[in-house]
Structure 1
């Protein structure tokens, strides 16, 4: 999980400069599947708040973000910080990410942590008095539609974060949406909508194609009102 408020040491800063920026590429398509961003956004245009309080987007920010819900989904509109935790890769390691941790809350089918460089996943806040994701039918491996600038990317719930901060996803999620995936300097300040489908489960959790297939089916059912 990314913690923006932790100061970089001189050594960490020098390591980041030596490592250089991560390559960025725009998403190859407007969306994954046939459900477009406008259809999904129209269904989550008003908020029935299900959280007991509000979340901050960063440690230093004012709490302004509610968790909203319908019978079928949980959603929030926030920023995107970059989570590079999990398997150690060329893009996700101590040199690239000063907040790097070598584990994720949820694991692959082989027991290993998730791979933030290759797997689109999102982070949910750890359970607290503000909100407990498990009580709303959100669990590890649940499918999520992440929407940014007219694009839709399907991801899974892959990690948990601070109890009072919301709005974080793996660098693979960011890259697919054309967002800078650098864990130290990237992300999006606003304009990201996360639609989490209740009681869903991608199996195996590390299969992005399975997430797309399930996400497309649930998104179509949601926008059509079936």
Structure 2
């Protein structure tokens, strides 16, 4: 183990967070918003369009709510019985061709490409690595699905659970305060390798925070 300089400040790692890059450090880097979307998104169909997608040279980011995506391979918690809007498909698939499992894999949902914003033009694709920040927790995830082209703020059952957010597809999620940071031109392959997403995310987050 590397020795720590005497008197050097120690970074507190919050239980439930993955890695040593703190939520506060990440949020400080995305405090300002240089809008890259041509318009703004709704967090739900009945809400006003108030959320922009912001960009830096290394990442795109937005702060919104978190709706629960239970789509993909069915399981005990995510299935047609538990979620009336359940779909057994995700926009991106595993290396074996099967759809992703929302219960098992931390992933986020990006809005479908539209005149508001086309994620593909900003170095984002299936398997891109994201840091999801809620309160003092950081969860690394991949881009695993696409959603409605006018709504933003959604992540898988597994992502919510890891962040201490209720993952119930009916009434779960978080109403606000979730920040999604997607690192441009990053990709985990195979997409289902969460350990690789954590390792890559931690490295990219550290570089992002330090400005390396």
> Considering the TM-score relative to the shorter chain, is it more than 0.5?
yes
Short-chain TM bin: over 0.9
Asked if residue 100 in structure 1 is aligned to residue 89 in structure 2, the reply is no
Equivalent of 2:202 in 216, 220, 223? 216
Asked if residue 148 in structure 1 is aligned to residue 138 in structure 2, the reply is no
Structure 1 Cα separation of the partners of residues 16 and 31 of structure 2: 20
SS in 2 for 1:220: helix
Equivalent of 2:114 in 128, 149, 153? 128
SS in 2 for 1:95: coil
Structure 2 Cα separation of the partners of residues 187 and 98 of structure 1: 16
Query: Partner of 1:173 in structure 2?
Result: 159
Gaps of 5+ in 2: 1-13
CA deviation string 1:121-177 (max 9, x = no partner)? 000000000000000000000000000011000000000000000000000000000
Equivalent of 1:157 in 131, 143, 146? 143
Structure 2 Cα separation of the partners of residues 30 and 48 of structure 1: 30
Deviation at 1:30, TM superposition (A): 4.4
Query: Partner of 2:3 in structure 1?
Result: none
Query: Partner of 1:110 in structure 2?
Result: 96
Structure 2 Cα separation of the partners of residues 133 and 219 of structure 1: 20
Contact preservation (8 Å) 1:30, 1:150: no
TM-score (norm 1): 0.87
Gaps of 5+ in 1: 1-27
* Paired residues, number: 199
